[in-house]
Every structure is written in C-alpha cells, then in structure tokens.
Structure 1
Amino acid sequence: MFKLVRLSCRVYPIWSALGFTIMLAFTATAEDSSSIAYYSTSQFSVTEFDREMYLRNAPPEAGGGIGSRARNLSALSDLYAIKLLALEAKSLDLLSEAEKKWLIEYAISIELIERYLRKMVEDKLAATDWEAEAREQYIASPEDYRMPESVSLRTLLIRTEDRSESEAMRIAVDLLGQAKQPGSDFSKLVTEHTEDASAAVNGGLMSGIIRGQTVPPFDEAAFALRTPGEFSEPVVSQFGVHLIQLVEYSPAEQLTYEQVAQRIIKELKPIRAAQYRRGLQEEARERKLEGFVEHTEALDGLMSRTSDGALGRKFSIDPEF
C-alpha cells in the first residue's frame, strides 16, 4: 500500500535555478522500500541516494539516518533534477567519446586522491602526540586559557522615555530604599517594578557578565561591587536609571593545563587535520619523480594554448583538440 507525501523542497546552491515540489511515493513493505518514485515516471534506488549523500560528505549513519531532514530532501530534489536534465541533455550528443573517457578517468582520479588524502591525514592524526601538542599550545598562549573577571547581578530598570531623568531617579531612589530594608526581596521588587520586560521574567538576574558586555556606566558600577547582596547607587545610562545588586563576584583566574587539556586537543584536531592535508598537497606539487626534466620550451608552448590561446576560446575538453 502506498502512502503519498507532498514535500516542498528548498533547493540549495548546486541547483539554485531550479525549484521543485516533489510527490514521493513510499511503500509500506520492506521488499519495495529500496526504491523511491517521482510522479511514477522516474525513480532511483536507495543506493543512488546513498551515493548522492556520500558526494555531499554527509556524516555516517547514526540512529538509522543520514544527515538532517533538510539535507536529505535537498539530495532527493537534486537527484530528480540530475535525472531530468541528463535525460534531456543525452539526446543532444554534447560529449565526444574522448571527452567521456577523459571525464571518467578524471573523476576516478579525484576520488582516489580524496580517499588517499583522507587516509594519510587519519594516519597522521593517529600518530600525533596530542598530550605534547596540547601542552605546547598551552605554554605558548596561556592568555587564551584565562577566565576573565565576571559578575552575576540583579538589576531593575526605570526608563526615561516617557518621564524625565530626575523623575526616574526619584523612583529608583525610593525603590533602593525599599530594597535595603531588612528582609526585603529584591527579586520580587524587580518583578513588580522593572520596566525591562525580560528582567521581569527572571527577577532581573544577569549571570556571568564580563567587562565590556554592558554600557560603560553600568559596567563601572557593577564591577565596583565586591560583596554579595551589595547595591550600587542608581546608575544613569541611555536606557534609563538602573539599580544593581551583586549576586556573585568572580575574580580573573588562570586555568591550569589539566583543566583545559581536553578542550585544547579538541580544538587542535581539525586545525592539524587541515595542516596535514595542505602539507601533503604542497609536498606533491614540489615532488619530482626520478628522471624528471623540465622542458621550458614545451611548457611555454602548452601555456600558449590556455586562456589566451586557441584552446581557451573553445568550449571543449577533448584531449584530441
């Protein structure tokens, strides 16, 4: 039994000129689940879909799926477009036999090179002494592993958009007096009186603020506080008048190597992978096989056939041109 599902696909840059709304027919039986049909006129196998995802560098299967739903739908749309356009283009005989042969050989070479580079990089990563690498990174840049000074606060805002600054200050001073009364709950005062909607939701709590994250007058007053529960005097900024209560003060701290070792290794691995890959590519460009001789005249002749030569003016990759 077939279940029809209509899916609107957003097509990604590779087929940016094409938009498709695809009608997919999925079977409910296992024996028919290996194919997907479009409009009952075109279909491809799950193997073709898997190959498409492979070419997109989709992550390996996890939990029975490949990539995200959006990525899968994009691949389905692209496969349909490829089949449709290839069918139309095939009848025009646009490639010579020599060009077809060259393209096949080139595609195989590129895939072999990619797999070779991937394996060589994986081998180099496996052989890397990550403990030594991480420790060297930590010693070279200790400032990168320093926790900055920070404060957690409760704040109450009286805006000056619809009142004068002096009127806002009078309200703030009165509320500050209430907040300093024994047994007063400042978070409750914030919820009842603040004119910052987001602060009203959580009692004005701002956690882990570091210097420079707030406007200068607020920043200066907040980082002058040291004792939890301490209040600043009312602070004026472009947003209005603020009351600030310190919840927690955390001085700057240099993290130990042991605290950050795994984080450093995690950050280094993709960096080293890219460096190893570039190194392999650069080494290949410079490597000269035994018996290599550079023929300057032949090279000059070849260059004359590129973008400013006859070949560059032809849309052809036929090696017999």
Structure 2
Amino acid sequence: MKIILKLFMMFYTLFLSQSLIASEVVATVNGSDITQKDVNDFVVSSIPGASFSALTYEQQKGVINQMINRKLFLEDAKKMNIASRPEFIKELEKEKENLMLDFWMKDKVEEIAISDRDAKIYYRDNIQKFNRPASVKVRHILLASEAEARDIIQRLKRSNNLKKDFISLAKEKSTGPSAVNGGELDWFIKEQMVPEFSEAAFSLQKGKITTQPVKTQFGYHVIYLEDKKEQRLIPFEMVKSDIINVLRRLKFKAKLERLSKKMKKTAIITVK
C-alpha cells in the first residue's frame, strides 16, 4: 500500500510540476499574461518539431518579444473596433466555413476503415520509402586558414577532455554561425552537406576529430563526431499509423467523388 501511495504521489508531483511550468508566466502586457505554454505553442506552430525550451537564450528572448508585440497590436486592433467592421465579419464567416469543412473532412477520413493487410501491402510495395539512410551529428570549427585549423587540431590532440575543449574552442575560434552552440550541427545525411565535409564526417569514429583540416568552399573545418546512425529500415509497427493515414486520404479522394455525385442528385443547383 505504501509503495502504491508513493508511486501515486510521484506521478501526481510530476503532473503538477508540468502543469505549473506550462502555466508559468514569462511576461505580462497591460495585465494580460503570456505563459510558458503560450510561447511553446507559438514556437511549435511556427516550426514543427521545435520547442521553446530547445531554443537558445537569445532566440527565446526573440520569441517572447514577438508575443509581446502581438499582444500590443491586438490591443490596438480592439481599440480600433476592427471586429465590428462588415468586411471583418465577412472574412470571419469564411474562416468559420473553412474550419467547419476541415472538421467535416477529418470526420469523413476517420470513417474509412483500413485493414492491417492493406497497410502491410502498402509497406511492402513502398519499402524504399521506409529506408532511412545513415546520418551523423557533428560539431565543427570553421576557420579562415589551413594553419589555424592545424593549430586547433594540435591543441585538441593534447586535450584530456576532447568534447569539452572542442566546444570551448568552437565558441572562441569558429567563424561559422554554429559557434554560439559550440559548433553543434543538427543530424544530417551525406547528400545534405558539401561532399568534402560529408566524406570527412562519415569516416569518423564516434568521439573522434578529423586529424587533417577539411577544406570546403566555406573555409577550413575541424570536425568532431557526436553520434552516428547506420542505414536502417523502419519497422512496420512504427509507421503503421502513418500508412493508415496515407491510405485513408487516398481512399477519401474516391469517396469524395462518390459523395459529391450523390449529393448533387438531391440538391437544387442553378449555374448562371
């Protein structure tokens, strides 16, 4: 019983802390609060897959400033009584209709049943879509000259904490935009970078650096391999729901045609 109670209290505390974080006020504009949830929702809607907490301090300040501006502009719009203008009301009705149709289509799509067999056939017939090429995550230091790059490599070879020292040197010496993040780049596949950079990055072992400067059109790079993912096939179960959604949308097109014809038979339509 005590164990159950402890588990309950642990999950309750976690839930409560998450709720408090979401409702935490990050700014107030004329008495109107902007919460952590507000800024995170704004970031997610602007950049799918991103989150407010993952942004740099400067980026977070920029987002909060945009939210403050939005509040101020909205206040001014309310003072101008824009909501009562006939053209606003007309556009609002159009948006309501569009939103209603979006919900209608969503309901119609979800009515379509897709069997596991159909989903597996699609997976088998489109297997190339579910192959994920190898990818790497690296840090790099971009320098103007080969001599500077060689000097950095020699300094790092003497390091007792390679990753920590690499990050420090990237922040101090790199001329690239990723310098502020310690030279960190997001995951990428070979084709996403210039050939010289990709070849060097993909040939590295995890936790190692390039022992020679890597020359590209941008300058000379010293690269550190954070992590690597080998080419892999995504299992069916991981993409099953996505496949079902794809098949539903494909079947919905045919269903829409049939539905349109059926409705037109009973509707009174005059084309002028």
Give the TM-score taking structure 1 as reference length: 0.50
Partner of residue 199 from structure 2, selected from 220, 228, 232:
220
CA, structure 1 residues 213+60, in 2 after alignment: closer, same or farther (shift >3 Å)?
A: closer
Q: Is the 8 A contact 1:221 1:232 kept in 2?
A: no
User: Does 2:174 align with 1:191?
Assistant: no
Q: Distance in 2 between matches of 1:261 and 1:144?
A: 13
CA, structure 1 residues 59+186, in 2 after alignment: closer, same or farther (shift >3 Å)?
A: farther
The match for 2:220 is: 241
Q: Distance in 2 between matches of 1:191 and 1:142?
A: 42
Q: Distance in 2 between matches of 1:60 and 1:263?
A: 19
CA offset digits 1:1-60 (Å, max 9, x no partner): xxxx7639xxxxxxxxxxxxx9428xxxxxxxxxx744xxx799x9x8875444334578
The match for 1:95 is: none
1:245 partner SS: strand
Q: Which has the higher helix share?
A: 2
CA apart distance, 1:182: 3.2
CA, structure 1 residues 175+129, in 2 after alignment: closer, same or farther (shift >3 Å)?
A: same
The match for 2:143 is: 158
User: Does 2:123 align with 1:131?
Assistant: no
Partner of residue 233 from structure 2, selected from 254, 273, 281:
254
Structure 2 residue runs of 5 or longer lacking an equivalent are: 1-74, 266-270
CA apart distance, 1:280: 4.8
Q: Distance in 2 between matches of 1:218 and 1:51?
A: 53
Aligned positions of 1:1-321 closer than 5 A:
7=77, 23-24=80-81, 37-38=84-85, 52-58=94-100, 122=108, 125-159=110-144, 168-183=145-160, 184=162, 185-196=165-176, 198-281=177-260, 317=272
Q: Distance in 2 between matches of 1:280 and 1:181?
A: 72
CA, structure 1 residues 54+206, in 2 after alignment: closer, same or farther (shift >3 Å)?
A: closer
The match for 1:108 is: none
CA offset digits 1:209-249 (Å, max 9, x no partner): 10111111111111111333242521111111111111111
Q: Distance in 1 between matches of 2:262 and 2:211?
A: 62
CA, structure 1 residues 220+279, in 2 after alignment: closer, same or farther (shift >3 Å)?
A: farther
Which of the two has higher C-alpha Rg? 1
Q: Is the 8 A contact 2:114 2:248 kept in 1?
A: no
Counterpart residue identity of residue 24, structure 1 = N
Give the TM-score taking structure 2 as reference length: 0.58
Equivalent pairs, count: 190
Q: Distance in 2 between matches of 1:43 and 1:224?
A: 61
CA offset digits 1:236-282 (Å, max 9, x no partner): 11111111111111110111101111122233333332232135557
How much identity, in percent, do the aligned residues show? 24
CA, structure 1 residues 276+245, in 2 after alignment: closer, same or farther (shift >3 Å)?
A: same
CA apart distance, 1:153: 0.6
Counterpart residue identity of residue 138, structure 1 = Y
Q: Distance in 2 between matches of 1:200 and 1:53?
A: 44
2:186 partner SS: strand
* Superposition RMSD in Å: 3.7
CA, structure 1 residues 283+60, in 2 after alignment: closer, same or farther (shift >3 Å)?
A: closer
Q: Distance in 1 between matches of 2:157 and 2:76?
A: 63
Q: Distance in 2 between matches of 1:127 and 1:250?
A: 36
Q: Is the 8 A contact 2:141 2:223 kept in 1?
A: yes
1:151 partner SS: strand
Q: Is the 8 A contact 2:113 2:248 kept in 1?
A: no
Q: Is the 8 A contact 1:228 1:249 kept in 2?
A: no
Q: Is the 8 A contact 2:139 2:184 kept in 1?
A: yes
